[in-house]
Structures are given as structure tokens and as C-alpha cells.
Amino acid sequence: MKKIMLVDDEQDQIFSIKTGFVEFYPNHYEIIPAENGKKCFEILEKNVIPDLILLDIMMPEMSGWEVFDKLRANEKWKNIPVIFLTARSDGLATSAGSMIADDYIEKPIEINELKTRIDNVLNKVKKKK
Amino acid sequence: MIKNNVIGKKFVLADKLRLEELINNIFENSVKYSNNNNTDITIDAQKEKDYVKVSIKDQGIGMTKNQVKHVFEEFYKVDSSRHDSDSTGLGMTICKRIIERLDGKIWVESQGLGKGTTIFFTIPLYSKDTKIGKK
């Protein structure tokens, strides 16, 4: 089962996505929730390395951009694929996110679309290897 | 006594506080109009196509057809003889607004006075196409 870390400060969103995957795509992904950037790095430090990170951009304290920079600056974590989650109204984040990350997804999102996008990125990574 | 006939999980995506307010209002009404007679209030939930249909059935004072027609109107009280200072007569109106925001429906059925009341509502089920997150 692929490990997907979901970094998002909105607990309801984490619950909805996690429940959606359990309900509609059981045994497909293991979702590792992290409610902020700090928690994300705490988990990574414990050597729990996900196959992909879903990263919300608009988060208090440490934004998705900062988390992304820190990931890319670290030898152990720099190759973890990242998909940004952006608000539709945030045009700058959308264009920048699409350039620097492996993919970006505008909210609101649908669970089937999210699964397709995650699988696409994971397949690309697999081909590169 | 509350009887829970719900079998299995049914997922919906909704504002938790609004959903609690909805359920609380409905149960308050059911309890109130059961006249505290220790009768049963039965909750059930069934999947129907893309929706979950929830019913809350009491064995209370029931309603006439005319009362059923007006139950969601603002400040309407089924039992007008009851001068309940806590009751605003807005509970069911609020329920209707909450349900409509969730793209669902709410309605009431009663076989008549003394024959209890059932409140039904529907809410779209959480599906693969449900939109998650704010724009």
C-alpha cells in the first residue's frame, strides 16, 4: 500500500480525504495525516518516508512553500513527489505550484480526481526509476 | 426510549455544527410532542440512490394535515396551547434551511392527531464526485 502524507491544517479536510480513500478505494493508500508543517517534519524525522506528499499551500506558521523548500533542501526528502493543494482563487499559487511541484490540484477537489492525479505522479516516478 | 435502527455507516460531507443543530432540533420536537410519555422515538437511515434518507419517528400527539402543511413556517407552533417560553417556533424552519443548504429535502408525515409524527430528511451521500475543500 502506498503511503501518502496529507499536510493540511484543516482537520475536516484531512478527515474527508482519509474517509473517502478508505470508503471508495480501500487498501489503495495509507494516508498519513499531518496538521501542519512542523508535524510533517516530525513524522519524516522518524524515518516514515511517504511515497508522495499532498501539501496544502495556505497554512498558518509554516506555509506549503516553506515546507516544500525545506523538503527539497534535504538529501533524504528531496525526491519525495509533492502535489500542491491550492485554493482556486489563488492564481499565483496555481501557476507557481504547477511549475515547481510534481502537480497541483485546485480546491475543491473530488476524491476520484485526487486518486487519478496521485496515481499519475506515482507512475511517472516509477518510470523514472 | 430512543431506538436506533441504523445499520452500517453512511457518509455525508456537511458542517458538523449545522448537522448537530438539525438533529437536536428534530429530537427536541419529538421529545416535546411525545409529552414525556416514555414512548419510543425511532431513528432510521437508508441509502436511496445518491442520498441517505433519515427518519425520526415518535409516538406523540401527531399532526393534522393542516399542521403538517405549516410546520416549517416561521414561528409556527403545532401545539399553540403550549406557552413554552423556550420555544421560538423557529426550530423546524431552521432545520429546513440547514437541509436546503445541503441540497437535501425535509418533510413531515403524520397519520393524524394522537398517531405520532415522522420527520424525514435526505442529504447527498459522500461519493467519489463530492467536492472537498473550500474554493
Domains of chain B, by residue range, sit at: 12-124
Q: What is the pTM of this model?
A: 0.79
Tell me, yes or no, if B132 comes closer than 8 A to chain A by beta carbon: yes
Where exactly are the structural domains of chain A? Answer: 2-128
Q: How far is CA A67 from each of CA A2, A58, A128, rounded to the nearest angstrom?
A: 21, 11, 24
Q: How far is CA B11 from CA A85, B76, B111, B118, B127, in A?
A: 23, 32, 31, 22, 8
Q: Does B11 touch chain A (CB under 8 A)?
A: yes
Cβ contact A107–B128 (<8 Å): no
Q: What is residue B39's predicted lDDT score, i.e. its pLDDT?
A: 84
Yes or no, beta carbons of A111 and B132 under 8 Å apart: yes
What's the pLDDT at A117? 96
B8 inside 8 A of chain A by CB: no
CA distance B39 to A25: 42
User: Residue B43 corresponds to which cell in the numbers above?
Assistant: 431513528
Residue B47 reports pLDDT greater than 70: yes
- Give pLDDT, residue A120: 96
Q: How many CB pairs under 8 A join A and B?
A: 46
Please give the Cα distance from B27 to A126 (Å, whole number). 54
Distance CA B28, CA B21 (A): 10
Look at residues B24, B25, B34 and name the one whose alpha carbon lies nearest to residue B115. Answer: B34
Verify whether the Cβ–Cβ distance B131 to A10 is below 8 Å. Answer: no
Best mutation target among A83, A86, A110, A115 (most B Cβ atoms within 10 Å) is: A110
Q: What do you get for the CA distance between the two ends of chain A, in Å?
A: 18
β-strands B117-124, B51-58 pairing: antiparallel
ipTM over 0.85: no
pLDDT at B134 over 80: no
Burial grade of B26 (CB within 10 A; 0-12, 13-18, 19 or more)? buried
Residue A87: its pLDDT value, please? Answer: 77
Residues of chain A predicted below pLDDT 50: none
Locate the chain A residue with the closest alpha carbon to B130.
A110
Mean pLDDT calculated for residue range B50-74: 91
- Decide: A124 and A37 in contact? Cβ < 8 Å: no
Query: Radius of gyration over alpha carbons of chain A, in Å?
Result: 13
Q: Which three cell numbers stand for residue A34?
A: 499531518
Is it the case that residue B31 has pLDDT exceeding 90?
A: no
Q: In CATH terms, is domain A2-128 a member of 3.40.50.2300? A: yes
CATH of B12-124, one of 3.80.10.10, 3.30.565.10, 3.20.20.60, 3.30.10.20: 3.30.565.10
Mean pLDDT of B40-61: 94
pLDDT of residue A28: 93
Q: Is the pLDDT of residue B88 over 90?
A: no
Mean pLDDT of chain B: 87
